Each structure stands twice: as structure tokens, then as C-alpha cells.
Structure 1
Amino acid sequence: MTVSTVDYETLFEALSSGLNLVTGNSRLARVLASQYSQWRIGRADRQWESPAILSWDSWLGTLWETAGLRGAENTTRAVPGSQQLLSLWESVLRDDPRARQLLRPESMAGWLRDTRQLAVDWRLDLNHPCWFGDDNENHTAFIQWNRAFDALCRRQHWIAPEDRTAILSRAVLDGDFPLPARTGLLGFDEFNPAQLELIDALGQAGRPVTKLAIKPAESSARLWKSYGVKDELQQMARWVRYWFEQEPGARIAVVVPDLQTRRQEVERHLAEILTPGNTRGKARPWNLSMGTPLLRVPMIESAFDLLRLLRRRIDIQDIGRVLRTPWIRGAASERNSRALLEKCLRDHYPRQLKLTEVRYRAGEIRQHDLEHRDLPPDQWQARPWNSPDMVTLLNQLLRFEQKNRGKRAPSAWAEAFGRLLSKLGWPLNDETGSELSEQEQSEAWQAFQAWQDALRELAALDATVPVLDRQPAISQLRQICRERIFQPRTPPANIQVLGLYEVSGLRFDHLWVLGLHNDNWPATAQPNPFIPGRLQHKARLPKSSPQRELEVALGITRRLLETATDCVFSYPGQIEGEPALPSPLLNEGVSVVESIEGWKGESWQSTVSAAQPPVTGPLLMPGPLEHGTARGGSSILKHQALCPFRAFASNRLAADGLETPVDGISPMLHGSLVHRVLENFWKETLNQQDLLALDDEQLAARIRKHVDAVIDGERSFNDRPEFRRVEGRRLVRLASACLVLEKERDPFEVIGFEQEILQEIEGQEIRLIIDRIDRLPDGGEVIIDYKTGKVDPKKWFGDRPEDPQLPLYSISADQLPSAVAFAVIRDEECLYRGVVTREGIFPGLPQKRGAHAAAISEAGLQMPLTVANWRQVLHRLMADFLSGEAAIDPKNGRKTCDTSYCKLQPVCRIGELEASDRMRDGEAAR
């Protein structure tokens, strides 16, 4: 193989005269094809044949096809596609007892596929004794799995992709098919033994191959140290814009060693400097070489979100993504109702729910009035979350789920999935298309074409996987989309963002290489765990040793220095607070500089930073509330005390965060069930005397009866017998413990349960529901509120009581209460906490211990004064709320926000306010 250095003009002349050019990667082939077209246009050519430029893998495929058409030996066997190859390895693992315990056999299949390719390409001796030593069982396991794989391929007439090179080399020497007269190789840092074998065979067959290298640029290289990672990215973006404006036609490249992981942050900094005011969907002036897995494309993710609904139970997060996706029918017209539907589901259902429950809520019609009386059909009203198009979509999913069960061929599943998604209006429909820009429509169409290719690849699994169930078919499709890289075609751009290994064969005017610190370059060795280390070192396999990586890094560094006339290498001075040093490979041929040229304009961040601090003036409150328009009952006063802004946002604007449903039974449902059991018990038992008249067996039977009745009435337990059993036992245990306490009280009679009261405060009507009211022998009344969580009566007191519920009940009662208390019913404890006018009303009250026990006891002894103080405080809080008092003023700062689970912090931005206050305090101190 001869070596020749050429410039682009000479290379394009050779291509126009029939040179067959093979490149080291697909990107280089695409770039050279585009540059060749521009060269032709510059010569005023009107038409020309497409140049023969192929990547190595594509060229190998072309040779294989030609050899097969000519009947070359062993070329009639089929070559499996990527997913077919993985499925063959998965089949091998399924048949091996040692591999059945693997959690992710598809991941192991990928390792074995890559290991075999390494072993074949680098001509490792698979019979060497070191494979069978006792030091590492992975080596022996691979050999055995590989033999099983070879046997499976022979039985099913497959030929692994990596085995083609050896067969083609023999076919070339045998003269079995015609070969190109001239072949050039460009963009290869090294060749593995299999490639050299084929290249040597071509030479022996009279078709010599030339390794081409683009003439090196006369480079001026600089090394610059940034303060940190963010500073490095910002300066890089400014440097790019500087040369983009100074030399509009210049070819500019940014090389990022770990581009796959840093793609988003690199793009973000380029966008902030190059296109700060860019509207959605406009073409960008740069191009990224590395695409993203098709599975991560939002449109494709939405397809899998839809397919994920084909399960018996569905996670609320999956439902939420489907309700919010713009890629299905009705997404625009039902945007608001679907958002309300998600809130409804989060408020009323556990984390796991059935599709029929979603359908019921999506089509819900209000057929009863506020008193739960039936309304005539002409007065029925759709709920705010009623979404007819979503109901249609869910019906189609349910029908598909019912009709498509059992095992089918992969091709049948591919057709079924495609047909289902089309019925759902995915991905492009009239609504979607109208909301996309031209560029977005182009990228969406390309993603859809890639999806169609993925479905075809799933269908091709018929050859290796005869039949499979629906969920495994979806998993196979996910794997295909995870492996398939999607890179939408975009207009040509002079700014290129590349990985380290993609620069070979390209030339630029300006080049910036990011992140070359001592921990990053040379790269860390990553030996293959399935190949003996001795063989890896002897064959010098990629990533096999630090010495191997050092040599590779030296070669790439030299090539980078030859890639552009102006080269900048940079590294961050510190990473995550730790100091960093430059790569030792940059000690020669690179001059250290303190600064780098860059665009001097203002970014939006610098504009904000340099702006005058805001002048704080009198806060304009929202204005008084018209009576009757607030929502929330006692929560108005609670929120006003916790933080006036929260009351304004939540109770006046009806703004709040979404609930996060829990697995199993929510705390709210736990409390509701306890309430209902005790309510039913006391409706039958009536007073303490009747309770004491029951013996243990009668009491247990009565508790069990009411627990069963409540459980039977709870729809969420209908098809969850395990939850039903566990919750039934818990309710019996809690009710029994609570009634033990009730026996220790002074005599009482239950006179009210779930009693509704309408109370007016400052003209605002509040609807209250008191859990329970007892009457004592002296005629006094006791207000009880059941709690299944932690409580603290001290939160009832002060100018801003954090829990004003029972004080509100107290001022609303017809007579001064003898006691107000929480009945705390928890697995950890059952007790009373509250304010009493005397001992004996509740066991354990008044409290004798605790930081605030004395003050709470005194409040009970002074009950008339206590209630009067509560009335004054609650009226003042309501007056503040009605007047529009909405200051962002949580009672105890961020602690109040966290402990009260406030979800409005992104709205009030209290974190930014506190940061501003700290900055102002610091300036005052200076």
C-alpha cells in the first residue's frame, strides 16, 4: 500500500477521473461529497456523475453484494442487520443456564457482539490457552458463547458482518469478481489486521490501494487556560462568532473530546452567542457531527409513551406525557382540558391506574347537583377536563389492547404498531403541522422516516425471532431506536462541531479543541473484560493499555496541529473545585497565551449582570377581592398566615402545583378511610355508654363490620386484593387503638359527625366540615378533628397561626367549646392533642410536659379569652386577604416553604429574592 499526500484540488480531479475513495467514517464521506459538488459548481459544470465516495463499511457492503451476484464462495449466506445480530446473541444467552440470571441480557448481547468483532478484526487466536485459565471465567464463557453463536449461524445460514472481510479477501485473490482500477483510502488513523489483509489482497490482484493524506496546513497553535468549564465554553463561543464575522467564508471547527455527553451544553453556549434572538425552528449557522439516539428524539419518545399505555396498569407520569404531547390528534384544541385532566387524575388516583379510569375521567359529565341529586339530561354539563378527542384515542388504545394479545411475528407487530399510531394522529396531523415551522416540519418528517426504518428493522427480525408477545416486541423496537443514531439533514454550515476522531481528512481555517486537561487526554484505557489481557497487549487492541492510548493520542494531536492554520487548544483551570492541568501532550509546538480573541458584544447574561440593580419601591397590591370569589375554605386563613402570596396565588388565582401520586394508598386516602370507619361506628354506637357495654368480641365484630363496609365502598380496591387485605388490617388496628382511648374519657355523647357549617368572616363565606362534636354531661361541647399525621397545637397560636383549622371551628361553634382537640390516630401512637378547660375530658390533657405545655394549658383555662384572641387573629388574616395583601413573606423563610410543601416557589422566586437580600446585606457590610 502506497502513501500519497494531496490537496483537495488534486483529490477532486482524481475523483472526477474515476478514483474510488473509501473514507474512515460516514461523516467524512458526506463532507467530501458536498465539497466535490461545490468544486464542480465553481468550475461552472452543469452536470456530473456522483463521485465514488463511500465509508469503509459501505464499501465493504458494496463488495459483498458484488461478490454475491458473481457467486463467490460463501457469499450466499445472509448478513444480519444490527438488531438481527443482537437477537442471535440473545438467543445464545437464553439457551445457556449461566446467562439466565442476567438482569439485562440485551446489554450482555451487545458486549459479546463487540467482543467478537474485536477478536475477528484483530485476528486473535481463539484457541490460545490463556482463554481457558482459571483467573477470569469471563474469558472461558465468551469462547463457549462464541462457539454456540458460530453453530447457530451455520444452522440458520448467517454470516456475521465481521467475517465478510476474510471471505472477500479470498474472493479477491481467486478473481471471482471485478474490482475498481484505483482505490484511495482517506481519514484512517490506523488499520486493523482484517483491513490490511483485504488491502494486501487487492494489491496482489493487481488493484493497488493508496493511502491518501490531505496536505497539512501550516499551523499556528496556542494553548489557553480558562477559569473553569463554563468560562471555557463561553470564550469558545465568542471566538467562533468573532471569526464568523471577521471572515464570513471561513471554515471554523470546534472539537470536543466527549461530544456525546457535552452536546447540549456546547449547543447552548453557541446558541446564546451566535443566535441569541433566534426564533424557534430557524436554521443554525453551525452543524454538529454527532446525532442523538432516535429513542431520545421527542417525537419518537411520544410514540413509546403511547405504546406504554398498552399495559394493565399505567404510571401517572406516562399518562401525563401523553396528555401533554403535541404529536397526537386534539393536542392543540384540547390543550387546556387535557391539562385539567392530568390534575384531576393526580388529585384522585394513586400513581398506578387503569386506562379505563383515565377514559372515564376524560369523558366525565356532571349529572348531579351540589346536593348529589340527579339532574335531568338537558342540564348535564361536561366537566372542565372533558376531552372528547382523548376519549376517542383511549378507546382506540383499549380496542387495540384487547384485539392484539398473544404471540405474533415481529413483522405483524411492526405493522400493527404503525397502524395504531396512525389512527391516533401520530405524528403529523392538521393541528401539529400548523404549529410547526418549516424547519421543524422538515426535522419531524426525517424523524418519521427514521421511525419507519426502525419498524422495517423490527419486521426483519422474523428471520431470527419467529414469534414474541406484545411487550417484548415493544422492547425490541425500543432497542432498535436506542441503537439507531438520528442526525437530521440541515443546510450546509461553515461552523462544524466535531468529536476528536472525526477530524481526520478535513481541513479548516480556524480550529478550537476544548477540554484537553491532563485527566482527559490521553484517554483512559478501557480493556475489554472478555478478552485475556495478554492477548490484548500482544495484538495492541484499541483501548487495551495506557501505552496504546498514549500513542493514539500523540498521533491525533499531531493531526490536529495539521488540520488548520489557526489552532487553539484550551483546558479549564479547575473542574468541580479541583485544580486541573493541561494535557502533557501539548508541551511542544504550542505557545501558551493569556487571552484569546473573541466577540466583544453583550450576551443576555452580561446585559443582565451589568444592569442597574432594581429600585425597590412600594409594592402595588392586587387590590381588594370581591366577596364570594375566593376558594379554599379554611385554607385561605392557613395560607395567609403561612405566606400572603400563597393565599393570593392558591386561593384567589387557583394556582398550585400538581400533586405527586404515590404507589399504593395515598396518605389522604388513608386518613379518609379512618374517618369513614369511625363515623360509621359512632353512628351506630352513639355514646360512650354503648361503647363500654360491648365486650371484646362484640367490639371487634362491630369494628370489622364497619371496616369491611368502608373497604367494599372504595373503588380503588376492587382489583387490588393485596391492598385490600393490608389496609383492612391497618384500619382494624387503628380503630381499636382509638376506641381504647375513648373508653378512658369522661362520659360523652356523639352529637355531630362530618357536620357542615357556613361561617362568614369579614364578609367572606367559608364552608367548614367538623369531623365530630361530642356533648358532655354538663352540656359542654367538645370539637374533635381526626388526624393521621403529626400535629402540634402550638401552631394554633400567635399572630400567624400555621394551622388555624380548629380555632376556626371554635369561633364558628354555637357555644363556647369545653375542649378543642386533635384525635391523633397513627400506627406509632394514638393520643389527644389540644386545649381543654379542665382535666378528664381527654386522657393526657392538659399536657404536663413539652416546650409549650404550660402555655397551651393556660389557654384552656382561659378559653373565653383564647377564643376571642383567635377570632381577632382570624378576622385580621381574612381582612388582609380580602384587601389584596400578597407580600412574598413566608413566616419562617424558606423553612416554611419546605415544611408546608409549597409548590409555588417557581412563581414567587423566593430563592432569587433571598439571594438579592444576601447580596444587598453584603454590600451594606462593606
Structure 2
Amino acid sequence: MQPDITAWDLLGISRDGLADLPPACTLVLTVNNRHARRLVTEWVRHLNAEKRVAELPRIVPLSAWLEETAHALTFLPQHEVPAYRLSSFAAQALWTDVIRRAEADQPLLDATQAARLAMDADTLADEWAVRVPEGMATDEYRSFLRWRAAYRARLGELDAEDANQGYAGVLQALEQRALPAPGHVVMAGFATPSPRLRRLALAFAEGGAQVLRLDEEENAQAVPRRCQPADRGAEWRQAAAWAARQLSASPEGRYAIVSPKLEEDAPLARRVLARALADGDEGASRPFNVAVAPPLVEWPAVRAALAWLSALADMTQYGACETRVLGAALLAGHCAGAGIEQGARAALDVRWRRRGIVRLNAHDWEAELIDLQATRLQRAWRDAVAAWQDGPRRVGADLWARRLRAALAALGFPGPSPLDSTGFQVLAELGESLDRYAALSPATGRLDGAAAVQLLARLARNSPFQPQRDPNARLDVLGLLEAEGGRWDGVWVLGLTDDVLPAAPRPNPLLPLPALRQAQAPRATPERERQWAEDMYATLLRAAPDIVVSCAQREGERDLRPSPLIAGLPDDIDLLVQDAQAQALPVETFQDARGPALAQGAQTTGGLDVLDTQARNPLWAFARHRLGARAMQPYAEPGAMNVRGQFLHEALEILWDDLRDQDGLHAAMAGGTLAASIDAAVTRAAHQLIGYGEALRALECARARVVLANWLAIEAQRLPFAVAQIEQAYDWQRGPLSLSLRLDRMDTLPDGSRVILDYKTGGAPGRPLADWARARPVNLQLPFYAAVIARQEGADVAGLLLAQIHARQVAVQGMADTDLGLEGVAAPSDAEAFGGLDWQGVLAHWRAAIETLADEFAQGVADNVAWRTDDLTYCDAQPFLRLDLELDEDGGDD
């Protein structure tokens, strides 16, 4: 007589009893793949210990058995099944498309996130028999019902099913006796069975199977020891030190560190454990396994493949490709000539960044490869293009899978370097991903090249991958779920805060909460989470005879509280060994604040940035201009400020070449020709707008016409002037230091004195008078011209103007020794920052400060001092300075 399966009152069976069942007609279904592997491993170990050979029954996870059985239904003539089985990724893509179509009038809806919730709600409703009467329905639930109806209609059109419907089909086949039941079915690890799992067990029983529950030998619950390290870093170091001590005392033992936030902690865990488990003077670390599977896209070979495929797709489909895409491919390597040509490829990428090149067409890209002398890559690229274009432009994912493989092979992927074990596994997983990609064809339809690569990238982002476990490792680092049911000699469970065990409920918002509560669905209520936490904690206490639990006292500035499950335990201070990182070590300090001086006779060149960085932080100047150390510049973008600035600078140069002076400006305004002059200048300068599309170029030119007209209206109100120089280059030398400079513009006043202008086409120029009045002045362009260049040429400078030429504001700031008829220009006597100095005194101050800065740089002065925190806002050599670390420790700004 069968037990009451609806109440999950199954007969228990031990492992020895399971061994007595006939293996050919016995099916063991486990809660997950990890549980199945553990059962097989323990069974084999038991047989080896008894020195006997026996046939194993079939032990598989429930999900794998459902998938296999759904495929087997296709061979039953009396049972109709859909032609396609959608993977989880394909099902989510279909849900996303359905929701986008259904909610086309709500552009702010995140269709991808809505699809994830809808998939979960669809499975949850079926798995836990969630019933929603009309009076309980919410607007979100009604939207879900519309989406689910549309989704299932699309499945019908495609003649496809997903995993949830596949489960329903298998269950129906069992209940209708279309699928024979095995003689014995053993359920393993299902602590809280869902209503659908109960139905499955009942269908097995009614089909003639004996349904049993595997009763594994459980350890007695250990009495845990508790400690509370200072912070998360100290907690990991304490756990790592504990593991090192255990492995030293018992090298053949098996130990585990369990973290509820392992994905977040994985980088810290690997670093701390590698240091704690270092073996001997050679620094080699004992092996350990961290059970975190990052997305496949994060592995370098896969990133390289996607980068090259993206470049191929853009270049063949659009005839051009952005340099950020080509640069990512060049730097990723993993192609023909990757080792020999890699240095030159990196240099090419740097050149694109520094020159602000946004995109390259196919001809220019070929020319760059020729200049690079990258003959291997050039040949491989041409072969890859030929493979890419072999066939129609739009095809299904199945044909794209073949084409993508052919293109990668033509490129020489994965490159000439030998692969290690992990590399082989990554490539094998990429190959399997392309097989899964080909199976997406029914759900995705016909794709062009760009869409095909984007689909593969999304698949790689949604495909976790972890290399095979090191069989020699005696330490496992796992998450809570991975640790469930495991057995070790000792376990340290860290991070047990009151917001982790139990965690806050996370009910699916598409299903009404009362319905979820009534169905006792997981993650829905505090009571359900509390029950799960207590069950998980009890399971962990049976995982080993020696259990340590811990909770850090704080995380950053936030105080942490222990989980109520461990709050009553006393602290075991013997667990807290002295934190190696906190130990005070003797330190010998050597202040090295001066580099070698510039060699006499060997000219060192640069721009005015040499003196500006010397004024802000001498070590920055030394690192940037003597060592050539600077952060890599970002790729240029259409609409970038430097491109826009070059465009406006050239337009202004063209205009004043034509107008020449204020009289010419007034004549153009009076004659009505100024607008035509502005339009002509903008049209001629528009070639600077590299990478702009037609629409964006038109908008930028229209904006420039308005900005230039507003600026010229201000120029027309000045006292009379004539333009003497435009974009004039200068060279200045002091000792071994030689600087090359360019002056935006210099005007001549009626008395023969000069006014120097510097155009600022970005945001507001800040506080120029305060910057110029510092003992070590910064933003030196105008002071340098006034105090040094003008004196060198015997010119009399009467004023300095910073012209803000921007769509948000057109204005002037500056300082002058005479009235220029412009608002925003101060006299030296009006500027409190200069302490009452007259104009000549100001020029003398600048001259002395500039010469001091030049002499410092030439002498190798490299003090690591920043006089103001905002001086380093745009510093591109921060790793050399490390001042931000000191500021962070003090709680200051960086």
C-alpha cells in the first residue's frame, strides 16, 4: 500500500537499503546537480571501502530528468510534443519581445527586468499552485496574465515549449500512463516539496512505482563557536587563518568556508586565501576551490572573440567602425599575430585615443594595418570578412553560428599562445554556447550581423561558467545554497548578519502577496524566510563536527548586528588570532622627493601643462612629463568637448581673418552680411566634426551659428581694437627646458598696447583671478603670455580676457590695466586676491612664479604635495601620487 504522498509521508530508505534495490529499474531524483554528484561520490567511496563492485542506479537532478524525459516523449507516437525546446535564455528573449510589443505605449518600462519577473511568476504559479481569485487580483497581476497569454500564443506559433511547459507535459504523460514509471523512485534532498512535486510523486505511484525518500545518515548538530571580527576584511582574514591552521594540522582533512555573499566577496576571498595558504618560501599556495561561476563573457578569450566579431559586424554592415570597438579587439588579442604584433597594436590604440579619432572606414582601417606592418592580422582580417559575407545578409541564428565560427577561425582565434587547462575549458564552453546559440533560431528569427553578435554577447552574459574543481583541493569556499547537504571536517560560516539569515522577503510583484502567502510560496513572507533560515542553519550545523560562525562588527561606517540564530552564542576569543594586516611592523622611511635634473644641452620639450602640473603637484609633473606616465585617454565620442572646441576655434579664426578689426565687425553688422560670414565660417570649419552623423552635424552647426553671433555681439560693444594675431605659435626656453605654446588671439588697442584672449568653449572657466593670484599660479595660459612672452617681444600687455563661448552662456572674465568696455573684467586694484599690487607688480609676480616653476622642473623637484584637493581633480597619474588613499583614511575628499 502506497503512503499518503499528498502529505509527503514517504517511506524512508537508507543508503544500504537503496543498494539492495535493483539498479536497472531504480531512479534517484535529487534536488540539484551538486546533490547528485555528492551521492555518486559517496556511493563509490563506500564501495571502494568495502572492496566490492556494484552497479549504480540512475542518480540525476530532477531538472535534468525532466529535460531528458521531455525529449523522450517525441518518440511516443500517441503523444504530440512541440518541435522546439527553448532554453532559459531563449525563453527570456521571447518574454522580453512579447512584453515590449504589449507595452509599446510605455517606453519607460524595463522590458528585460519585467521578463525576468514574468518568467519567475509563470513558474512560481505552476510550481506552487498559486490561485488568485478575482477580488485578489492587482493591476500588475492582470498585466502578467496578458503577457502570459501573448507569450504562450507565440510559443504555439513557433511550435515550441519552455522548461515550465515541458515539466507540465511530462507530468501529464505520467498521469495519462503514456509514460511508463520505473519500478522504484527515490527522492533525495527535497525538504519542502512543492504541490507540483507532490503531483509528480503521486503520478509515479499511480503508475506502479514505489516512491521512497532517501534518509541520509545525518551528523549530530555541532555546537558552534562564534566570533565577531572588526570588519569584513578582518573576518575573511580570520577565516583564512583558521583554514590554514586546520590544513596544517590535518592535511588530509576537508574543510569549507561558507559565505552568503560569495559572489561579492570572491575577489577578496581569493586574495586573502592565496596569502594565508602560501606554502613555504616559494610562495606557492595550497589549492582551494571557490564556487563562483562568473559570466562566460568575463573570461578573456570570450571577450576577445566578441570584440573581434563586433568589429567585423560593424565594418561589414555599416562600412565603418568606432575606434573603441576596434581598440578593444586589438588589445584583446587572441588572433593571428597576437604575440609578435601586440605592442604595435597597443600603440595604435593609444594614437587613436590621443588624436580623438571616433571611427574608421574600411579603407582607413586597412591603411592602419598596412602602416602597422601587421601582415598576419591583415590577411586574417580579409579572410574573416570573406567568411562573414558568405551568404545572405540576414539569416537565422543556426546559420549565424556557423558563420561566427568560420570568422573566428579565419582570424586565427584563439591565437598562437598555448592554452592551459582553464583556457581549454573556456573554449569548450564557448563552443557549447554557440551550439545553444544555434538552437535560438526559432525564437529570434532572421538577424543581421550586428544583431547576431549582440545576441551572442547577451547569451555569454547570461551563461555562468566555472572551471572544473581542483581534485587536490582540501578547502572549499561556497555560498549557502552550495553548502547545503555537504560534509566536511570543519566549516567556518561567515557574514551571518541579521539581514542575511533570515533575509528580507522578496515576493514576486506580479503575483498578489495574499495569494503567495496562502500558497506558502518561497521568498514571499517573513515567516517563510524565517523557516528557511532555521532549516538552513540546522543543515549547516550538521555539515561538520567543528563549526565556526562569525559576523563582522561593522561594514564601512555601518554597524552590523549578528543573525538572531547566533546572537545568543558567547564569543570565543581564542578564534581571533592577531590580524597580520594590523600588526605593527618596523618601517624605514626614505624621503625621495627629487629626481635627476634635466641634462644641460639636451632640450626637454613640452607645453604649458608642464608648469601647470608642477604648480599643482610636482610629482605629478615629474611622472607625466619626465616618466611619460599618464592614464590612458578614453576613446573620442561624437560631440566630445575637444572636437567641439576645435570646431569653434577654427570658425573664429576664419571669421577674424575676414573681419580683421572691430570696424570690420561693425561694417558687417550694418551691411547685414554678418550672418552670411558666420555661416561661411561654420561651414568651412565643419570638417572638424569627425564622427558626427548628418543630423548631429547639422545641429552642431546651428548651435555654433547662435553661439558665435552672441559672442560677436559682445565684441561689438568693446572699445576699439584690431586683431593682431590668431593661433600664433611661440617657443620659450629657460635652461634645458623648452616649451611650445599656441596663443588663441592677441588684439591691439589704439594706444598700441595688447589684449590677449583665450577661448573657453567648455563650461565656465572657474575662478581665474583666484587661480592667478596663488603663490604657485595655475591655469597659466594668459599670465604666461602677459608676463613672459610679451616681455620677451617687448610688447605692452594691457589686459587678459577669458572668453566663455558656450551655448549655456557667452561671457567674459579677466583682468586689465585699462577700461576695455567689458563687464566681468577687473582691475588689479579691485582684485583682493592680489593684495593691492598694481599691474606691473602683478606681472612681476607671475614672471617670478613661472621662472621658479620652470627651474623646479628642470632641477627634478618632485615633492608629492597638493596644496588644494581640487588641484588633482583631473590628475592622470594618481597611482603615482596615492594621495587619495590618505584622504580616504582620514574621511576627506579625494
1:654 is matched with which residue? 628
Aligned residues: 868
Cα distance between partner residues in 1 of 2:167 and 2:804: 75
1:476 aligned counterpart, secondary structure = helix
Q: Does the alignment pair 1:161 with 2:168?
A: no
Per-residue CA distance 1:830-854 (angstroms, 9 max, x = gap): 3362343x44597876627854387
Q: Does the alignment pair 1:758 with 2:731?
A: yes
Gaps of 5+ in 1: 366-381, 920-926
Question: How many angstroms does 1:210 deviate by?
Answer: 1.9
Q: Which structure 2 residues correspond to residues 278-357 of structure 1 after superposition, within 5 A? A: 285-309=287-311, 310-311=313-314, 318-349=325-356, 353-354=359-360, 356=362
Q: Does the alignment pair 1:140 with 2:116?
A: no
Matched letter for residue 650 of structure 1:
R
Contact 2:377-2:411 within 8 A present in 1 as well:
no
Q: Which structure 2 residues correspond to residues 340-379 of structure 1 after superposition, within 5 A? A: 340-349=347-356, 353-354=359-360, 356=362, 359=365, 362-363=368-369
1:683 is matched with which residue? 657
Give the alignment partner of residue 562 of structure 2, picking from 577, 582, 598: 582
Contact 2:803-2:813 within 8 A present in 1 as well:
yes
Q: Which structure 2 residues correspond to residues 314-713 of structure 1 after superposition, within 5 A? A: 318-349=325-356, 353-354=359-360, 356=362, 359=365, 362-363=368-369, 406-426=393-413, 428-430=414-416, 432-433=417-418, 441-492=420-471, 493-586=473-566, 591-597=569-575, 603=580, 605-606=581-582, 609-617=583-591, 619=593, 621-660=595-634, 663-701=637-675, 703-713=677-687
Contact 1:238-1:598 within 8 A present in 2 as well:
no
2:690 aligned counterpart, secondary structure = helix
Per-residue CA distance 1:326-382 (angstroms, 9 max, x = gap): 4334443333333333332223327x53555972784485xxxxxxxxxxxxxxxx7
Cα distance between partner residues in 2 of 1:84 and 1:787: 51
Give the alignment partner of residue 61 of structure 1, picking from 63, 67, 82: 67
2:6 is matched with which residue? none
Cα distance between partner residues in 2 of 1:820 and 1:76: 82
Matched letter for residue 772 of structure 1:
R
Matched letter for residue 190 of structure 1:
T
Gaps of 5+ in 2: 4-9
Quickly say closer, same or farther: Cα 1:638–1:57, change in 2 above 3 A.
Answer: closer
Contact 2:36-2:60 within 8 A present in 1 as well:
yes
Q: Does the alignment pair 1:238 with 2:212?
A: no
Cα distance between partner residues in 2 of 1:411 and 1:526: 38
2:440 aligned counterpart, secondary structure = helix
Q: Does the alignment pair 1:272 with 2:264?
A: no
Contact 1:187-1:504 within 8 A present in 2 as well:
no
1:487 aligned counterpart, secondary structure = coil
Cα distance between partner residues in 2 of 1:268 and 1:656: 27
Q: Which structure 2 residues correspond to residues 872-911 of structure 1 after superposition, within 5 A? A: 872-890=848-866, 892-898=867-873, 901-911=874-884
Contact 1:228-1:572 within 8 A present in 2 as well:
yes
Cα distance between partner residues in 2 of 1:265 and 1:11: 42
Contact 1:259-1:498 within 8 A present in 2 as well:
yes
Contact 2:661-2:723 within 8 A present in 1 as well:
yes
Per-residue CA distance 1:120-153 (angstroms, 9 max, x = gap): 223445xx6x1x3475123233334434444554
2:504 aligned counterpart, secondary structure = coil
Cα distance between partner residues in 2 of 1:634 and 1:753: 18
1:372 is matched with which residue? none
1:85 is matched with which residue? 91
Cα distance between partner residues in 2 of 1:642 and 1:569: 50
Per-residue CA distance 1:3-30 (angstroms, 9 max, x = gap): 43646x7767879898543221101222
TM-score by length of 2: 0.86
1:744 is matched with which residue? 718
1:374 is matched with which residue? none
Per-residue CA distance 1:883-912 (angstroms, 9 max, x = gap): 22222233x1433222xx221121122235
Quickly say closer, same or farther: Cα 1:50–1:913, change in 2 above 3 A.
Answer: same
Quickly say closer, same or farther: Cα 1:795–1:731, change in 2 above 3 A.
Answer: farther
Quickly say closer, same or farther: Cα 1:213–1:622, change in 2 above 3 A.
Answer: farther
2:478 aligned counterpart, secondary structure = strand
Cα distance between partner residues in 1 of 2:107 and 2:723: 60
1:522 aligned counterpart, secondary structure = coil
Quickly say closer, same or farther: Cα 1:278–1:118, change in 2 above 3 A.
Answer: farther
Contact 1:324-1:331 within 8 A present in 2 as well:
no
Cα distance between partner residues in 2 of 1:752 and 1:79: 74
Bigger drift between 441-450 and 655-664 goes to 655-664
Contact 2:611-2:853 within 8 A present in 1 as well:
yes
Contact 1:794-1:852 within 8 A present in 2 as well:
no
Q: Does the alignment pair 1:822 with 2:797?
A: no
| Identity rate, percent | 23
2:246 aligned counterpart, secondary structure = helix
Matched letter for residue 112 of structure 1:
A
1:31 is matched with which residue? 38
Question: How many angstroms does 1:628 deviate by?
Answer: 4.0
2:192 aligned counterpart, secondary structure = coil
Question: How many angstroms does 1:214 deviate by?
Answer: 1.9
Contact 1:691-1:743 within 8 A present in 2 as well:
no
Contact 1:289-1:498 within 8 A present in 2 as well:
yes
Cα distance between partner residues in 2 of 1:904 and 1:323: 24
Quickly say closer, same or farther: Cα 1:852–1:472, change in 2 above 3 A.
Answer: same
Matched letter for residue 815 of structure 2:
G
Contact 1:295-1:481 within 8 A present in 2 as well:
yes
Matched letter for residue 659 of structure 2:
T
2:460 aligned counterpart, secondary structure = helix
1:198 aligned counterpart, secondary structure = helix
Matched letter for residue 4 of structure 1:
G
Question: How many angstroms does 1:784 deviate by?
Answer: 4.1
Matched letter for residue 445 of structure 1:
F
Per-residue CA distance 1:683-735 (angstroms, 9 max, x = gap): 33334444444443445146325423433442517643433443444255335
Give the alignment partner of residue 215 of structure 2, picking from 197, 201, 213: 213
Cα distance between partner residues in 1 of 2:199 and 2:574: 47
Cα distance between partner residues in 1 of 2:369 and 2:393: 30
Question: How many angstroms does 1:750 deviate by?
Answer: 3.5
Cα distance between partner residues in 2 of 1:91 and 1:784: 56
Per-residue CA distance 1:539-570 (angstroms, 9 max, x = gap): 22222322222222222222222222122222
2:785 aligned counterpart, secondary structure = helix
Contact 1:221-1:591 within 8 A present in 2 as well:
no
1:834 is matched with which residue? 815
Q: Does the alignment pair 1:122 with 2:128?
A: yes
Matched letter for residue 760 of structure 1:
Q
Question: How many angstroms does 1:612 deviate by?
Answer: 1.5
Matched letter for residue 625 of structure 2:
N
TM-score by length of 1: 0.83
Quickly say closer, same or farther: Cα 1:630–1:174, change in 2 above 3 A.
Answer: same
Contact 2:758-2:801 within 8 A present in 1 as well:
yes
Cα distance between partner residues in 2 of 1:316 and 1:145: 40
Contact 1:294-1:484 within 8 A present in 2 as well:
yes
Contact 1:513-1:568 within 8 A present in 2 as well:
yes
Contact 1:324-1:338 within 8 A present in 2 as well:
yes
Cα distance between partner residues in 2 of 1:287 and 1:618: 43
1:508 aligned counterpart, secondary structure = coil
Cα distance between partner residues in 1 of 2:646 and 2:347: 24
1:375 is matched with which residue? none
RMSD value, Cα: 3.9
Cα distance between partner residues in 2 of 1:677 and 1:93: 49
